[in-house]
Chain A
Amino acid sequence: MDRAPLAAGETEELTQWLTADRRRRGAFIRARAIWMRSESARALGPQYDPENFQPAAAEPPPPAHVERRRPMMKWSGALAASLVVAVMLVTTLQMPTAYATAKGEMRTVPLGDGATVTLNTDTHIKLYDDEGRRRIRVLRGEVLIEGAAATSPTLVEVDGKQLEGSAATFVVRKLNDQPAQVLVQEGRVVLAEERQATLPLSANTGASLLEGKEQGWQLRALSYGQLSRELAWREGKIALQGETLAEAVALYARYSDTPIVIADPGLATVPVAGLFAVNNALGFSRAVANVFDADVRQEGDRIVIAARHRAGGL
């Protein structure tokens, strides 16, 4: 037997630990099932040599050595062994820590090692610790990872893609209905590509996942000014430089449940520039209305921007 069976106290402890998180129970039964499934490997017999099963490799001649016969494993011990192995597996499974922000909220989480991750509005991430290596899975939203001074790299997963930042400060975005984006401000970020060479990004580079394709990123150089605008949210600002009013309104929608409605199709296409506070949709609307000679009114939960000649008729 590999290990003594679990003592009564240990069993109780284990049960409590499993009960604390349902996912642990699922992972536990899964581990036991896989362990049990691997029992059939015994049927491979003593002649089994993994070298003969290397995929796509020329088959080497069968080895000549003869394996000494082993007594059958004591099956009474099998259960205890499978419990121990399953527990081992589940306890080493990384149960991640989830962090989320509501609309309009921002939050900074230290990653240890001097690195931090800042969650912008309406963002959901999971933080894993893989044998001391940190990994962040971005499920939704936008994060800024600041690890320029950190000694260990940060692994990030977004949209099924993996990237790794070394001594890097970078933004990862996964916004609704948009392909994932990576913006590197400082340091080096490597995009891992399956079955392809990895793709290193240097500072001041942006990468967007190509939509509808199996793989591939589209790269673009970012000027200092562009990057600062992309990062204006850290100061609680939205930086606009010629975006249409419709685009600006869509940006505000990320930060607030109070939608801005543009009542005039003509207004939707006017370009807007300026630095605005993310948490002040009404102020933004008034500023815009002032410039374009429009009216702003609040209708229940909405802010409506309408051209003056219409509103004037009321």
Chain B
Amino acid sequence: MWTRVSDRTELEGDRDFPLDDVERARWFVHHILPHEAALRGWLSRRRAPGAFDVDDIVQESYALLAERERVDDILNPRAYLFQVAHSLVVRSIRRARIVPILAVEDLGLADLPDDAATPEQSAIAHDDLRRLAEVIASMPGQTREAFVLRRVRGLSQREIASRMGLSENTVEKHIVRGLRWLGDWFASGGNPPAKSSNQLKREQRRAGARARNQSGY
């Protein structure tokens, strides 16, 4: 099944992109999203610094899968996802033309993570709803409130806006932020999202204060 994806994936960009294919999105929920963290981990361990960007490869892999005419013929979506990503990496490395031969050899699929569920995946599957509850709970203040009202209680944006005393626009921003928070959670394999940039900023301010108090290193 490895041979199904080859460099021809590069040429498939012109197909119509379905906007409202609910079944396709659902397929991604069950077959791709759970493997994203493992894919990112695998990509970031490749020894080809600078030749490609993990985010780009992940997004392009999703796009290639979304553009396929059908997905129900993919027997092993996890393996397929890794194979697509692998061909994209090889392509970027060829384009970069700066990477030593070693890096390309290192990209062999020999160390492709096997199909068995990784510990983090089984953890996700095991207590799915609880993890979701936790990640929503870890969202920052108003984002969490808006997201809970929207996704747990099913209120409309307008209702949330009037209840929270915010503009609908602001509510929408909070919901998008919450969705991004969830996205980070998937990207990291079900660990609580990394520090928000606000947290980082706060810490940096604190560190800044420290630096001003002592005279540096």
User: Which A residues are closer than 8 A to B by beta carbons?
Assistant: 1-3, 11, 14-15, 18-19, 22-46, 48, 50-55, 67, 70, 72-73, 79, 82-83, 85, 88-89, 92, 122, 124, 126, 130, 133, 137, 139-141, 160, 162, 164, 166, 174, 176, 188, 190, 192, 194, 197-203, 205, 219, 221
Contacts and interface: CB of A to CB of B under 8 A. Distances in A.
A88 B183 CA distance: 14
Nearest to A73: B154
Given A31-B179, A88-B176, A201-B217, A18 B49 contact: no
Contact of A30 (B22, B28, B100): B28
A27 B20 contact: no
Interface in B163-184: 172, 175-176, 179-180, 182-183
Contacts of B155: 70
Nearest to A102: B98
Contact of B59 (A27, A32, A43): A27
B53 interface: yes
Given A41-B152, A50-B133, A88-B176, 6 more contacts: A34-B33, A44-B133, A48-B148, A70-B153, A83-B20, A199-B207
A37 B29 contact: yes
B195 to A, nearest CB: 8
A28, A41, A194, A205 interface centre (most CB from chain B within 10 Å): A41
A34 B51 CA distance: 28
A29 B179 contact: no
Given A2-B156, A42-B152, A192-B204, A30 B59 contact: yes
Given A44-B132, A139-B50, A26 B66 contact: yes
23 contacts: A2-B157, A3-B157, A11-B19, A15-B19, A22-B59, A25-B67, A29-B28, A29-B65, A30-B58, A34-B179, A36-B26, A44-B133, A46-B153, A55-B138, A70-B154, A72-B154, A88-B172, A89-B183, A139-B53, A174-B49, A198-B206, A198-B207, A202-B211
A3 B175 CA distance: 14
Contacts of A50: 133, 136-137, 139, 144, 148
Interface in B19-65: 19-20, 22, 24-26, 28-29, 32-33, 44, 49-51, 53, 56, 58-65
A214 B26 CA distance: 37
Contacts of B25: 29, 32-33, 36, 82
A122 B98 contact: yes
Contacts of B203: 192, 197-198
A83 B176 CA distance: 12
B125 to A, nearest CB: 12
B22 A38 contact: no
B182 A38 contact: yes
B192 interface: yes
Contacts of A140: 49-51, 98
Contact of A18 (B17, B58, B136, B144): B17
Contacts of B56: 23
B208 A200 contact: yes
A73 B216 CA distance: 57
Nearest to A162: B200
Contacts of A82: 25
B65 to A, nearest CB: 8
Contacts of B138: 54-55
A145 to B, nearest CB: 16
Contact of B66 (A25, A35, A203): A25
A51 to B, nearest CB: 7
Contact of A200 (B29, B156, B207): B207
